Each structure stands twice: as C-alpha cells, then as structure tokens.
Structure 1
Amino acid sequence: MRRSKRIMSLLMVLLLMVPVGARAGNLGGGSSGIPGTWYLGAEPSSVDPAKSPIVFVHGYNNSASVWWEGNDMYETALANGYQTAFIDLYSDRDMWENGVMLAQKLKVIYDHFGGKKLVVVGYSKGGVDAQTALVHYGAHPYVSNMISLSSPHHGTPLSDLAHSSAAWWLAALLGNNNDATRSLQTGNMRYFRSITDTHSNASKNRYYTLGGYKWGSFGSALYWGGLYLSSYGSNDGVVTVASSRLPGGTIVREGAWNHTTIREGSYTFSVFKPYTMSEQPAVANAFSAAESIVAEPETSQIVKGGKAEKAIKESFVIEDGAESFQMAFLSEKKMASLKLKGPDGKEYKAAKIEQDKGDFFKGAWVHTFEIAKPESGKWKVEGPAAAYLLMVGIDSPLDVELKKDKIQSVKASYKTKWIKYERDGKKKLKESGKGSKAGKVLDGDLTDPGVYNLTTEITGVDAKGKPFERTIIESIYVDENGKTHR
C-alpha cells in the first residue's frame, strides 16, 4: 500500500511538470534529455514574493530528470512553495559549451518569471557550468544567488585518474573519456580558476557551497572512489570537500553526504533553503581564494591498468612493514575468476563486487580486496582478458618518509609517461627517460599549450634495502603564455 502511494505521488509530480520547447510528454528522462530543453515545475498554491524561482542544473552523466527520478528534490521544493525550472544540458560536453547554452536559457527563464531574479542550484559539474554561464557568458543579471552541491570547482583527481595512461582504456570503453571529464582534470581547473576568479563578473552574484565527506562502507558503490581520494582529503566518493569550496563563495555546510545524497531534497533542501530567499542570513564561512586547497600528489598508492588482449597477468610490490592494503580492481565485466596471489602463493578472492555509480567509471565492475598484515614482496593479479584498472591503497609507515621534503633513507627512481589531450580529444603520448632525475617531469619540459596528464611510476628501496613501488598521477595545464598551472 505504501509503495502504491509512492508511485502515485511520483506520477502526479511528473504530470504536473510542463516541458518547454520539447515534444509533449518529453520529461528529459535518462540520457534522452534534449540539450537546451527546459521544464517548468507546477505552480505552488500561493507564490511568496520573498522566494526566488529556483533553476536546477544537473551534473555530468545525467539529465534534468535526476532531480525527480529517484530524488525528492522537486517534490520538496514544490511543497515548500517554490516556483521551479529544470534544464537539460549536454551530459558529455565541457563547461564552455554548457555555459553558453545555459546563459541563453537563463534569460528565457528569467523572462518567463516576469523578470524575477533566479536562484541557480548546480549539482556536481552543473555548478561549474552555472558559474561559467554567469561569469563568462553574461548571465549574471538574471540570477541573484548560485548554490553548488559538491561541485568540483578545482577539479577532481578521479578525472586525472580516468585520463591517465593506466585508466583511459577503461574510461573510454565505459564512455567516460570525453570533453566533460577531460575538463575536470585538476590542471585544467586550475587554469579555469585563474581566468574566472579574477574576472570582473565574478563578484556580481552571491555563491554558496555544500560539500560532502561520506563515501560509504567497504565495497559500496562509491567506496573505491572515496578510498582513492582519501589521501587528497575528505570527500564524498567523487569530489573532495576542498574542491567543493569556491573562492569568493560562502560555505553553507560540509556534512555527512555522499555524492548521491547531497543532491536529494530530503537531505539538503532545508540546508540551502535560507539562501534562496530575498533576505540572506548572516554567515561567517566565506572562502578566500588565497586559502591553499591544493593537495600534494598521492604517495600511498599503486595504480596499474590497460587493455589485456589475453589473460590479465599483473603484479605489484608491497613493502616490508605495511600494515594493510586495499585493492580495487575495475573492469567492464564482472570477474568471478579474478584472483589475487600473495608472495607465498596464497590466493584471495574479492570480498565485494559492485558496479561503480560515480562519474568517471560509472558502470564498471569493482572487485574490492582487503588484506591485513600483508606479506612483503610481489603480489600477482590474474583474470580473463579485459580493459582494467587496479588501484592499491597502502597503509604503511613508508608513506611518512615518502612525503618528506628531503628523503635521506629512501632511494628511488622515476619513470613518467604523459598524455597531452588536444581540443578534439586526440592524445599524444610520450615517455620520459629513466633515472632518479631524468624520470621526473619539470615545468620546462612541457611547453606546448594544452592539458597534460602525467603518470609517474616510482620504484626504489627503503632504509633496510627492501623494495617498494608507488604511482603518482596528476595533470597540468600550460596556457598560451607558457605558464604552467599545476
């Protein structure tokens, strides 16, 4: 009975929504949403002039329907007496293409509501798209406030990972190697911040941010992404809390939300509701552009991957003294026969297998292993032919040594591969020389403008002469003047 009422309630919500500029009945469901189409929510029983109309902007890899399918955000806003509108943007384009489209539609929506200033709520990449529309494409006169829900204002290391030499095979196979994901590499977003935060339009709207720091239990859908990001700081499984903060904006709250729950009405509407009113509450959480939010590249992980035409035979080294490690093995198919073998020949099977629900490897099968007190030496991974990515997160005293500015007890050599991404998505791959110095990439080595994705493999021995290995993945942007943003 309860389920029937819920279904009837959802049907009523959808029937009340009016698609504008689209075929009758087209509610923008799933990936079939037509870019540029916007949808008008039902008119509340009484309109409070103190409540601004809210325009909801979806994120990457979803459409306008993300606000009402499996989400009570639209229902909650309507129940609270708000006029609403929802828009479909390109799910796989960068902030520039979405920004110019959104700017045009915000003017149309503003006119529809009789020149009443709008509040824009942007989820994930939708927050980046929305700020681009306001600052770079002149939509600021139509909007009072912008509220972003876990938006990667500084990019996300998961995007760097997806476009690395180890992972791009799998990301491409899953359809997640495109303009949208490339634009969210941390190097590219540092460049975006440099031309956005100083723009004359940057201060013409009020900005408010929400960030999440809960990424789920072991083996859950957002767990492995949270594990990968954990060394970069608190995160919601896709975006770090630090990246959700917008220079010049105000932090509303950073709470125990994951990247899904932060967009749901029952979780966050009441939190940002005060910032949709004409009278703004007093706040003291302004975030300054001068604050450092850039995390150092990760030094406690091993990342490997590619496309195995035959059976997968991969290996990695766990150093002496490691307390534990967790391995997430991603592939386009579920692998019941996947095996992890220790140096002593003991075999382990995945403790949990789930499909990823994040943005950059959505749909991949994640096989998660957790090993306590691991034996040091070479660990092997065996499985059937597939495109794959494995990430090993290690809890080890060696991590402290590797993060020191001057390492005396550790001897290491470096080998860096980098990919330069062109505007059309084509890649140029280059590998540096080997050696303790030649393997490192310096700013002066990369001079051609564009986005570079760097993967550095570190191998060496610790103070006891025991072997170890690590992987560092990062991205940088070289602008037209040769300045490096990293």
Structure 2
Amino acid sequence: MQRHKRRIATALSAAAASLPLSLSLSAAPAQAAAHDPIVFVHGLSSDSSSWNDWIADFEADGYTSSQLDAWSYDWGQSNVTTAQQLATEVRNVLARTGASKVDIVSHSMGALGSRYFLKNLGGTSYVDDFVSVAGVNHGTSVASWCAWLYTSCKEMQTGSSFLTSLNSGDETPGGVSYASYWSDCDEAVVPNSSALLSGATNVDAGCIAHTDMNNDHGVFEQVRAFVG
C-alpha cells in the first residue's frame, strides 16, 4: 500500500513539474499571435535590406519572422503604382498569417505610397498602426536633383500635384493610429517640418541622419512602443 502511494505521489510530482513548461510552450504562440504583422516600406534608392537592423530588434522582442515583412519595389516608379503593389503585399501577408490587420512602418518616400494606399485604396480597413520614419510627407526641396529622372522624385517635390492631392482634407484618415518620427537635422527632408502629419503623433527624434533613422535603436524603441 505504501509503495502504491509513493508511486502516485511520484507521478503527481512529475506532472506538476512539467506543468509550467507546458504552459510556457502554449503561451508562446499566443503571445506571438497578439502582434499585428508588420509590413516595412523602404524609401528612395533603397530596398528591403534597409530594415535588417529593426527586423532583428523586433525578433529579439518576440516577433516571429513570419510577422515581419520587408519587401522591395521599384523606387523610381510612381508612388501610385507602389501603393497598388503595397495593397497586394498587405493582402498576401494577411492571407499568410491569418491576421485581420497589419501595421505599416515606412521610411522616407515609402510614407507616400503607404499613405496613398491608406487614403485612396481602402487601406484603412486593413491597417491598425501606421508609422512614418523620416517621411517626406509634404515634399522636399532636395527632390529637384532627381525629379527629371524619376516619377517618384517628381511627386516628392514640394507643391507637386501628387502631394497636393495626398494632403488635401484629412492627412490621417480612418481609424488607423498614425505616428511620424522626424529628425531636426534631416538633410534629405527639407524643411524638416515636412515630415509632420496633421492628426498624427509627431515625435522629434533629435538630430539623426536621414539614412540612420530606420536603423537607430532609440527610434526603434519608440516605434516598438507605438505599434505595441
């Protein structure tokens, strides 16, 4: 009888010891599922690799690789075309992950195609949070150097018909949460205030170079808190 009791106690002890492990294993997918997938949109003269540092940071913070979608597009094309391609990319991410919405994190000119998608292509139904990092939201005088070469640059010029239309009315439409992180010494967004969006959470990230804004860890921490 005593031997039988000892066997039961041993079995119960083993089961109890395994319980925290089983709970932690089952909790991990639930925690991962709590994150909206993020679609990263690069800017002019760039590609998906510009997000490598932040993707590593997001993974270290609990995101899975399937929830982090950095894609490349032809940055010389019209931002309207980019917006159409982004719409397809978002649908693909939602289908692949089973999520109902994504977050969009954009850099520089990437903010323009992303915002066109939100405003004109029904994107607000599929996006939870939108982040503009050093976004050329109201144009930049620097675009004059490439406006004669690329449609995208022509659209980035201050006062262009593309920007006039994009910024008419509500700059932050729908139920999306908007944030814009900008640098007060950005050499590519001139004037620096062009990055601000009416109706968004506008954050002065300090004096950070344009090309460093989307791999700066301090900016990452603020963006992570916002989309979280």
Could you state the TM-score of these two structures normalised by the residue count of structure 2?
0.78
> CA, structure 1 residues 200+79, in 2 after alignment: closer, same or farther (shift >3 Å)?
closer
2:102 aligned residue (118, 132, 146): 118
Partner of 1:65: 49
Is 1:246 the equivalent of 2:197? Answer: yes
8 Å contact 2:156–2:163 — kept in the other structure? no
> CA, structure 1 residues 263+195, in 2 after alignment: closer, same or farther (shift >3 Å)?
closer
> CA, structure 1 residues 87+53, in 2 after alignment: closer, same or farther (shift >3 Å)?
same
CA distance in 2, matches of 1:55, 1:188: 27
CA distance in 2, matches of 1:49, 1:263: 25
What SS does the corresponding residue of 1:204 show, helix, strand or coil?
Answer: coil
Structure 2 gaps, min length 5: 1-27
Letter paired with 1:203: G
Letter paired with 1:180: S
Letter paired with 2:106: G
Partner of 1:181: 153
CA distance in 1, matches of 2:171, 2:226: 23
Instruction: Measure how far apart 1:199 and its partner are.
Output: 6.0
Is 1:127 the equivalent of 2:77? Answer: no
Matches within 5 A, 1:213-232: 213-214=184-185
What SS does the corresponding residue of 2:91 show, helix, strand or coil?
Answer: helix
CA distance in 2, matches of 1:274, 1:136: 28
CA distance in 2, matches of 1:126, 1:77: 20
Q: Would you tell me which structure has more helix in proportion to its own residues?
A: 2
2:89 aligned residue (84, 90, 105): 105
2:222 aligned residue (250, 271, 287): 271
CA deviation map 1:195-240 (0-9, x unaligned): 54426982332210000123xxxxxxxxxxxxxxxxxxxxx11013
Letter paired with 1:184: M
> CA, structure 1 residues 141+203, in 2 after alignment: closer, same or farther (shift >3 Å)?
closer
What SS does the corresponding residue of 1:81 show, helix, strand or coil?
Answer: coil
Partner of 1:281: none
CA distance in 2, matches of 1:195, 1:263: 23
| Alignment RMSD | 2.2
What SS does the corresponding residue of 1:92 show, helix, strand or coil?
Answer: coil
Matches within 5 A, 1:327-366: none
> CA, structure 1 residues 51+104, in 2 after alignment: closer, same or farther (shift >3 Å)?
same
CA distance in 2, matches of 1:138, 1:273: 25
8 Å contact 2:105–2:130 — kept in the other structure? yes
CA distance in 1, matches of 2:122, 2:169: 15
Partner of 1:77: 58
8 Å contact 1:160–1:186 — kept in the other structure? no
Letter paired with 1:238: A
Answer 1 or 2: higher relative contact order, Cα 8 Å, separation at least 6: 2
What SS does the corresponding residue of 2:139 show, helix, strand or coil?
Answer: coil
* Aligned pairs, number: 196
Is 1:237 the equivalent of 2:178? Answer: no
8 Å contact 1:152–1:244 — kept in the other structure? yes
Partner of 2:212: 261
Partner of 1:209: 180
Could you state the TM-score of these two structures normalised by the residue count of structure 1?
0.38
CA distance in 2, matches of 1:98, 1:89: 7
State the structure with more CA Rg.
1
Instruction: Measure how far apart 1:251 and its partner are.
Output: 0.6
